[in-house]
Homo-oligomer: A and B are copies of this chain.
Amino acid sequence: MEQVFTDEYFMKKALQEAETAFEKGEIPVGAVIVVNNQVIARSHNLTEMLNDVTAHAEMQSITAAAHFLGGKYLKECTLYVTLEPCQMCAGALYWSQISKIVFGARDEQRGYLSMGTKLHPKTAVVSGVMAQEAADLMVRFFANRRK
């Protein structure tokens, strides 16, 4: 039987969120949080619209998922995010004790890997899922902005 709920399946939903951010003139990053193959939170970057550096896609999804679950720990959850999380978001994910993070494109400059941010020891990480699609959207966004 074909597996429906793959990492690509949920990353496509995160990419749809990133496209919504793109259309709003926001740096195009999207995220969803999944538990038992159900999407319980979806969000996209809103730092410009909200005038708030904390309004990254991941931060919003962490808050929304905790609200849905009625508890602040995301121990059975997976975050799908189109871009590697930054220090702030990785720090929030550390506190959440999330089970798994799946991200798309690397952020060599500001991503948590280059910056050395620690995740929770119980958190598994998968990277590079639909990375090209996520990176293409970023490149297109910054090319438009330079025009």
Contact = CB atoms under 8 A, between A and B. Distances in A.
Contacts of A117: 87, 91, 115-117
Given A116-B116, A117-B117, A66 B91 contact: no
- Counting contact residues on chain A (CB < 8 A from B), the size range is 20 to 34
Interface of A: 47-48, 51-54, 59, 62-63, 66-67, 70-73, 86-92, 94-96, 115-118
Nearest to A89: B91
Given A91-B117, A115-B117, A115-B118, A53 B96 contact: yes
Given A87-B88, A87-B117, 9 more contacts: A48-B72, A51-B71, A53-B62, A53-B95, A54-B63, A87-B87, A87-B91, A88-B91, A116-B117
